[in-house]
Amino acid sequence: MEIDREDGRKPNQLRPLACSRNILNRPHGSASWSQGDTKVLAAVYGPKAGIKKNENPEKACFEVIWKPKSGQIGKAEKEYEMILKRTIQSICVLTVNPNTTTSVIIQVVHDDGSLLPCAVNAACAALVDAGIPMKHLAVAICCCLADNGSIVLDPSKLEEKKMTALAYLVFPNTTLSVLPEGSSLVEGEPVEDGIITSVTYGVMSVDDYFLCVENGRAATASLSAFFRKNFQQSQKVSFKA
Amino acid sequence: MGLPDSTQDLSSEMDVDAFRRIFPLRFFERHLSESLRPDARPLGKARDTIVNLGLVSTADGSALAKIGSTTMLAAIRMEVMTPSTDSPDEGCIAIEFHMPPICSPTVRPGRPAEAAPVISKRLSDTILSSGMIDLKELCLVSGKAAWMSYLDIYCLDADGSLFDAALLSAVAAFSNLKIPVVALNDNGRIVAINGEGEEESNASKKEAVNKEKRKLTLKNVPSSLTCILHKSYILADPTAEEESIMDTLVTVVLDSSDQMVSFYKSGGNVLAYSSAIKSCVELAKKRGKELKQILGEMDID
């Protein structure tokens, strides 16, 4: 059951990924991440002294500023800011730099679908570039449920509009373990199978949601591998310099 | 509240209220290990829920929903507008969620609450994508006139599970909605028939455009339940105190045929595994039945 996608991809095939880090001079860490035509720029400033109001001074505080490609920031962007902030807070070690604020600035360069997952990946790469202590990476993917009940990964803007439902899912990165039994288990499931963030639009059955989660999880393995390869490469370059 | 002797065990000696403030997490975990919460609820039980309809006389539909002490007031105002050319036979719904300073000590006057626009966006996503309201029913004259319904939800008391209470009040307000009677006048414009002034004298001549369409049919009514994931515990319908101490929140929205409208989790220290997701969905199903009953009782009277 192969469905034809506009750009000739297979249902679970991602668009070409590209990531470059340390591209901006002023921020402490920066990255650009693109999935096909969707491109996002992320910059990290911090940790800076002091925290925002109503935050716990015993923990590191994060703020996310979302800049759309054009125009004013609206409700959708505010929601993205909040989701991204909470996602970052859950993957970073908050006790290392208490009473500090780290700003993550997201600049959308082009939106061609799967914008939020793209921003999560970009923010993650920028945080690594800035050397912010993290527990693990977050790997984000967009899963779509088509009319005929099949699952499509990493949709473009056009595909997103045609789908009955879509889910943005964020997982921890898959670990490369030297232990023979692989990564540690939580309630009989590997750690990387837990969902950090899930946002869905549209109506789907509970079973379809689990199908989305399963497909998304499978795709995060290749995304994690891409992250790993990318970080190893730039590591070599910095050693040479 | 005298300070306890440093030589003695703090937890046995200290005043309960002081212990709750100083070691909130330990206080809660002590309760959770007994499968109980500080407000005497079992883990999977939601707070008492009350819905009242038609409290705002100036609105076309209104409802007040209370879940525990979380209070939401929703009101709908209908206005006639010209539909957009993309969808000439569809009306429109605009949803706004307000958090005035009265609702919580964390909201300062003059500065809008951070959570308000996010909840607003989630509410409109949920209500529009659930298909609860057929936008075609809001059409008056195709391409000429349609209803624009402004739904405003005010949070009067923010004590946790804001989204659940806001959605409940929105659904109740729509069930209470009475669409005003309007007629087409000679100039081809829509005017309200409200028995006032010159309208009344002309009313006999004019045929009401929407005589039989005074109520919206609500299908696939969505109901939501927020749960806290903490270690392996799942706490349904958290209070504000619980939300501030344990930060992993999951909101499940199901419609009346148990289809999933939204599964929302943003970050948090605890990862959601399939087993936890399944239990949350089960709790939401149970809660959906409760809410259906509560809303069903409203319709009778």
Q: Facing residues of B83 across strands?
A: none
Residue A237 Cα, gap to closest chain B Cα (Å): 33
Q: Which of A82, A89, A203 sits opposite B260 (nearest CB)?
A: A203
Mean per-residue pLDDT, B162-169: 96
Query: Whose CA is closest to B273, among B246, B245, B250, B242?
Result: B250
| Amino acid identity for residue B49 in this structure | T
**Element spanning B249, H or E:** strand B249-254
B267 and A89: CB-CB below 8 Å? yes
Burial class (CB in 10 A: 0-12, 13-18, 19+), B257: exposed
> Is residue B4 scored above 50 in pLDDT?
no
Q: Is residue A138 a contact partner of residue A223, using CB atoms and an 8 Å limit?
A: no
Q: Which CATH number fits domain B40-179+215-300: 3.30.230.70, 3.40.605.10, 1.10.3720.10, 3.20.20.240?
A: 3.30.230.70
| Amino acid identity for residue A55 in this structure | E
Confidence at residue B50, expressed as pLDDT on a 0 to 100 scale:
94
Count of beta carbons in the 10 Å neighbourhood of residue A13:
14
Q: Is residue A88 a contact partner of residue A62, using CB atoms and an 8 Å limit?
A: yes
Burial class (CB in 10 A: 0-12, 13-18, 19+), A85: buried
**A52 at B interface, C-beta within 8 A:** no
Q: Facing residues of B64 across strands?
A: B52, B73
How far apart are alpha carbons B38 and B238 in whole angstroms?
11
Q: Is residue A175 a contact partner of residue B250, using CB atoms and an 8 Å limit?
A: no
Residue A198 Cα, gap to closest chain B Cα (Å): 5
Per-residue tokens: A82: 């909040």
DSSP H helices in chain B: 10-13, 16-22, 24-32, 115-130, 162-176, 197-203, 240-245, 274-300
Query: Whose CA is closest to A199, among A87, A61, A95?
Result: A87
Per-residue tokens: A225: 């591998």
Confidence at residue A6, expressed as pLDDT on a 0 to 100 scale:
77
Catalogue all structural domains in chain A, each as residue range(s) with its CATH number: 17-240 (3.30.230.70)
Burial class (CB in 10 A: 0-12, 13-18, 19+), B50: exposed
How far apart are alpha carbons B55 and B131 in whole angstroms?
26
A203 and B106: CB-CB below 8 Å? no
Query: Whose CA is closest to B282, among B41, B43, B37, B71?
Result: B43
Contacts of B72 (CB under 8 A, 6+ apart): B64, B65, B66, B153, B154, B155, B156, B162, B165, B166, B168, B169
CA dihedral B241, B244, B246, B249 (to 10 degrees): 100
**B114 at A interface, C-beta within 8 A:** yes
A82 and B114: CB-CB below 8 Å? yes
The three state secondary structure string of B58-109 is: CCCEEEEEEECCEEEEEEEEEEEECCCCCCCCCCEEEEEEECCHHHCCCCCC
> Is residue B11 scored above 70 in pLDDT?
no
DSSP H helices in chain A: 75-91, 115-130, 157-162, 206-240
Confidence at residue A141, expressed as pLDDT on a 0 to 100 scale:
94
**B37 at A interface, C-beta within 8 A:** no
Per-residue pLDDT of chain A (241 residues; tens, 9 = 90+): 455 787 888 888 899 999 999 999 999 999 999 999 999 999 999 899 988 877 788 899 999 999 999 989 999 999 999 999 999 999 999 999 899 999 999 999 999 999 999 999 999 999 999 999 999 899 999 999 988 888 999 999 998 888 899 999 999 987 766 666 666 666 667 777 889 999 999 999 999 999 999 999 889 889 999 999 988 887 666 554 4
Query: Whose CA is closest to B118, among A4, A8, A80, A98?
Result: A80
How far apart are alpha carbons A34 and A14 in whole angstroms?
11
Q: Which of B122, B260, B267 sits opposite A197 (nearest CB)?
A: B267
Q: pLDDT digit string (tens) for B110-129?
A: 888 889 999 999 999 999 99
Query: Whose CA is closest to B91, among B126, B153, B134, B122?
Result: B134
Q: pLDDT digit string (tens) for A119-133?
A: 999 999 999 999 999
How far apart are alpha carbons A101 and A84 in whole angstroms?
15
Q: Which of A78, A188, A202 sits opposite B129 (nearest CB)?
A: A202
Query: Whose CA is closest to B275, among A208, A200, A194?
Result: A194
In angstroms, how far is the first alpha carbon of chain B from the final one? Answer: 51
Considering the entire predicted model, what is its pTM? 0.90
**In which band, very low, low, confident or very high, does the pLDDT at B198 lie, cut at 50, 70 and 90?**
very low
- Best mutation site among B132, B274, B278, B280 for testing chain A: the one with the most A CBs within 10 Å? B274
How far apart are alpha carbons B183 and B205 in whole angstroms?
10
| Amino acid identity for residue B18 in this structure | A
Instruction: Please provide the average confidence, as pLDDT, over all residues in chain B.
Output: 86
